[in-house]
Amino acid sequence: MKLLAAIFPAFLALLVAAQNFNDVTLEIINTDLAPDGFTRSTVSANGTFPGPIIRATKGDTLRVTVNNQLTDPTMRRSTTLDFDGIFFDSSNVYNEGTPFVTTCPFGPNASYTYVLPLGNQTGSYWYHSQLSLQYADGLRGALIIYDPDDPQADLYDVDDDSTIWFLGDWWHNASIAMLESYQATQIIPVADSGLFNGAGRFNTGPLTEYAVSTVTSGTRYRMRIINASARSDFTVSVDNHTMTVIGADGVATEPHTVTEMLIHAGQRYDIVLTADQPVGNYWINTILSGGNAAHNLNLNATLGRGILRYEGAPNAEPTTPMTLGPADPIILNEWELTPLDPVPVPPFDVELSFVTSMTANASSPSGFNSQWNINNVSYVSPVVPTLLKVLGGATSADDFNVTENTFVIPANKVVQINFVPDPNNELHPFHLHGGNFWVIKSNGSDIVNEVNPIRRDVAAAASGGTILRFTTDHAGPWFFHCHIFFHMNAGLASVIAQGLNETRTDVHPTEAWDNLCDAYYALPC
């Protein structure tokens, strides 16, 4: 025993030393910014929009320290970060960042360090505030995991910070006021502008400079397109150029060439773009759609765009018209994508049907006059986070409030979720935290693919009867919600609680995590 006691600390030290830690610090502050020319107070990471790029390499363990220094009362002053698309094993679920599911937020003058072992994941991801509608105020940025042995490396020549295309909708009003407006009117506020890499314009606004993506003739670029919107879709194209899709939501795909793609809130696509046109300036068309533009006369969908500039071209805007994209586009259809490395799709053990609906209810528990529902239940965040309830002994759905909309499923099962078709329903980009799913049936297609469907973590569910399938092979409660955050805040969310007994065995939170809820509920109102 003495020998073991002497050896174990040395072994542990070697184990820790073998890990490749990647340390990042984000200072969350209120900063006046004007990405589209209109100056407003924002919630920002390190004072910028987008926030700083978090870069990692396959196999790294990320340690992201978040220091909350927020002071502006027009927006939420507590915060918590979500790392969209990053997998978490059951032992690390408490670092996942979903408020009142896996953690509590933390207030001003407090800090928390998220530890994220990245394992074998590679690809394009992003981070954002998961609290309320706070990321619409600016707290969002790219997270890229590079693969030194990328099997697709022969398809491109350049893949660096300059090849990230970060798209987002932008509002001139702060999030608390917008949620209050939504509560009162049942109308989601329409964005004032769309932004490409943190720049854009709005009707009657100043002629701010568009963000430029610089290329060299004859060179192939891996462009990483991230839709970091709180509401909006973007239709993306590049004048006179094709785009070859090689990845979706961090999963490599067989090359598939298109000239136009629709990308929903939260989704990411990796494309190869070849600089094969005459030297010049070309419009990168990123056309925002989300709501009736008549509800916000600032919005001009054609003004949220970028410039593809060849080396040697003048420092000027393209002389060609701003269009909505190619006249005869080759459109990206999700169901036409196939994975580079197909994972066999197992038959399902558990089948769930999800009916999404909106009802007018002035006395809804969420406080919204228009509440969104899954199977007639509108999600309301609990006071005690789901994970704390599980660690405290919760074993079945009856141990959670009905409004937590928690589906309890044993470990190591295969779950299929069928979204019931409804031609009157809106489109909802549903996102699964902590893992991803096979898209067995895409919205807009009648094809059911149980052989080689793509895997991703955000998929459109609307009138077309989307079918998703995933395994419960990592225990813990995982948020599953619409990535239109107005809908999410009005109840369009659920929790997939996987393997509760295994969660209690595997999860051993840190003292820092244990203290979060007491500190949060001690904050002044």
Q: Which CATH number fits domain 2-151: 3.40.220.10, 3.40.50.720, 2.60.40.420, 1.20.1600.10?
A: 2.60.40.420
Could you give the 3-state DSSP secondary structure of residue 175? helix
Residue with tokens 């209810």: 361
The rounded distance, in Å, linking the Cα atoms of 105 and 513 is 10
Token pair of 35 as six digits:
């990405």
Say what the pLDDT of residue 127 is: 98
Contact between residue 436 and residue 470 where contact means Cβ atoms under 8 Å apart: yes
Strand pairing report for 193-196 and 212-215:
unpaired
The rounded distance, in Å, linking the Cα atoms of 84 and 195 is 20
Cα–Cα distances in angstroms (integers) from residue 368 to residues 119, 185, 239, 363, 495, in the given order: 40, 10, 42, 8, 20
The rounded distance, in Å, linking the Cα atoms of 24 and 142 is 13
The rounded distance, in Å, linking the Cα atoms of 240 and 234 is 19
Token pair of 164 as six digits:
């990230």
Per-residue pLDDT of the chain (525 residues; tens, 9 = 90+): 444 444 544 544 444 445 689 999 999 999 999 999 999 999 999 999 999 999 999 999 999 999 999 999 999 999 999 999 999 988 999 999 999 999 999 999 999 999 999 999 999 999 999 999 999 999 999 999 999 999 999 999 999 999 999 999 999 999 999 999 998 888 899 999 999 999 999 999 999 999 999 999 999 999 999 999 999 999 999 999 999 999 999 999 999 999 999 999 999 999 999 999 999 999 999 999 988 888 899 999 999 999 999 999 999 999 999 999 999 999 999 999 999 999 999 999 999 999 999 887 655 555 556 789 999 999 999 999 999 999 999 999 999 999 999 999 999 999 999 999 877 778 899 999 999 999 999 998 999 999 999 999 999 997 779 999 999 999 999 999 999 999 999 999 999 999 999 999 999 999 999 999 999 999 986
Its CATH architecture, for the domain 350-521, is Sandwich (2.60)
**2-151 and 161-336 in the same fold:** yes
Say what the pLDDT of residue 15 is: 42
Torsion of CA 376, 381, 387, 391, to 10 degrees: -90
Residue 35 DSSP class: T
- Strand order in 54-57's β-sheet? 54-57, 140-146, 123-129, 81-84
Burial (CB count within 10 angstroms: exposed 0-12, middle 13-18, buried 19+), residue 7? exposed
Contact between residue 282 and residue 322 where contact means Cβ atoms under 8 Å apart: no
Could you give the 3-state DSSP secondary structure of residue 491? coil
Q: Which amino acid is at 169?
A: D
Homologous superfamily of the 161-336 domain (CATH): Cupredoxins -  blue copper proteins (2.60.40.420)
- Among residues 185, 224, 168, the alpha carbon closest in space to that of 36 is found at 168
Cα–Cα distances in angstroms (integers) from residue 187 to residues 131, 182, 195, 300, in the given order: 21, 5, 22, 19
User: Rounded to 5 degrees, what are φ and ψ at 246?
Assistant: -130, 5
Residue with tokens 């996942």: 96
Task: Return the domain boundaries, the chain.
Answer: 2-151, 161-336, 350-521
Q: Which amino acid is at 135?
A: Y
The rounded distance, in Å, linking the Cα atoms of 73 and 498 is 37
